[in-house]
Structure 1
Amino acid sequence: MRKPRVRRPNKYAGWQIFRDHDGDWRCYHRKTREKIDCRRFEPYTLAFDMELHRINELRNEKEAKPGTLGMLIKKYRESVRFRAELAPRTRADYQKCFDYLQAIDDTPLDRFRPPFIAKIRDKALEKRKFRFANYVRSVLSVIFDWGIEYGFTKDNPAAKVRPARRPKALPDANRPWTDAERETVLAALPPHMLLPVALMMFYALDPQDALELPRMAITQAGLDTRRNKTGQPIYLPLFEPVAEAIARAPKHDALTLCANSRGQPWTYNGFSTNWSRLKGKLEAEGLIQPGLTLKGLRHTVATILAEMGKDHGTIALVLGHATEAMAKHYSRRANMTTRTTSAVADFEAELNKRKTKVVKSGV
Structure 2
Amino acid sequence: MTHVRIKGFKIFKDRHGRMRCYHRETGHKIDLMKAPLGSAEFLAECEKIRTIVEANRARAPKVGTLGGLLLSYFETEHFANLAPATRRDYRQCADFLEPIRDTPIHVIDTPLVAGIHDKAARKIGWRRANMLRTLLSEVFRFAIPKGLISANFATGVIPKPRPASLAYANRPWEPEECALVLRHALPHVRVVLALLMNTGLDPSDALNLRRDQIDGETIWGVRGKTGVEVAIPIGATLRKALDAAPAHGAATLLANSRGEPWTYNGFSTVWHRFKTGLERDEGLAAGLTLKGLRHTVATTLREAGLDERRIADLLGQKTLSMARHYSRSANLAAKNRETMATLETENARRNAGGAKIVKPSGKSVKPETKEASK
Give the TM-score of the pair, scaled to structure 2. 0.69
Deviation at 1:89, TM superposition (A): 1.4
Note the aligned Cα RMSD (angstroms). Answer: 2.5
Once residues 264 and 190 of structure 1 are traced to their aligned partners in structure 2, the CA distance between those partners, rounded to angstroms, is 16
Counterpart residue identity of residue 67, structure 2? G
Residue 302 of structure 1 pairs with residue 319 of structure 2: no
Correspondence list, 1:336-355, <5 A: none
1:123: which partner in 2?
A: 119
Residue 65 of structure 1 pairs with residue 62 of structure 2: yes
State the Cα deviation string for residues 128-167 of structure 1 (Å, max 9, x = none): 1221112111211121122224332221111111112322
Deviation at 1:72, TM superposition (A): 0.9
1:110: which partner in 2?
A: 106
Correspondence list, 1:198-277, <5 A: 198-277=194-273
Once residues 181 and 126 of structure 1 are traced to their aligned partners in structure 2, the CA distance between those partners, rounded to angstroms, is 35
Deviation at 1:271, TM superposition (A): 0.5
Residue 74 of structure 1 pairs with residue 68 of structure 2: no
Once residues 256 and 274 of structure 2 are traced to their aligned partners in structure 1, the CA distance between those partners, rounded to angstroms, is 15
Q: Secondary structure at the match of 2:215?
A: coil
Counterpart residue identity of residue 127, structure 1? K
Counterpart residue identity of residue 299, structure 1? H
Counterpart residue identity of residue 66, structure 2? L
Once residues 180 and 56 of structure 2 are traced to their aligned partners in structure 1, the CA distance between those partners, rounded to angstroms, is 49
Correspondence list, 1:46-61, <5 A: none
Deviation at 1:264, TM superposition (A): 0.8
Which ranges in structure 1 are unaligned for 5 or more consecutive residues? 1-30, 34-58, 324-344, 354-363
Once residues 247 and 294 of structure 1 are traced to their aligned partners in structure 2, the CA distance between those partners, rounded to angstroms, is 22
Residue 97 of structure 1 pairs with residue 82 of structure 2: no
- Pick closer, same or farther for the CA change 1:253–1:119 going to 2, 3 Å: same
* Number of aligned residue pairs: 275
8 A Cα contact 1:76 1:143, kept in partner: yes
8 A Cα contact 2:198 2:235, kept in partner: no
Q: Secondary structure at the match of 1:160?
A: coil
Deviation at 1:126, TM superposition (A): 1.4
Counterpart residue identity of residue 69, structure 1? L
- Pick closer, same or farther for the CA change 1:103–1:228 going to 2, 3 Å: same
Bigger CA radius of gyration: 2
State the Cα deviation string for residues 21-47 of structure 1 (Å, max 9, x = none): xxxxxxxxxx958xxxxxxxxxxxxxx
Q: Secondary structure at the match of 1:305?
A: helix
2:138: which partner in 1?
A: 142
Deviation at 1:294, TM superposition (A): 0.6
State the Cα deviation string for residues 223-265 of structure 1 (Å, max 9, x = none): 1111111211111212112111211111111111111111111
- Pick closer, same or farther for the CA change 1:151–1:203 going to 2, 3 Å: farther
Which ranges in structure 2 are unaligned for 5 or more consecutive residues? 1-26, 30-54, 320-366
Aligned residue among 278, 281, 284 for 2:277: 281
Once residues 122 and 85 of structure 2 are traced to their aligned partners in structure 1, the CA distance between those partners, rounded to angstroms, is 25
Report percent identity of matched pairs.
45
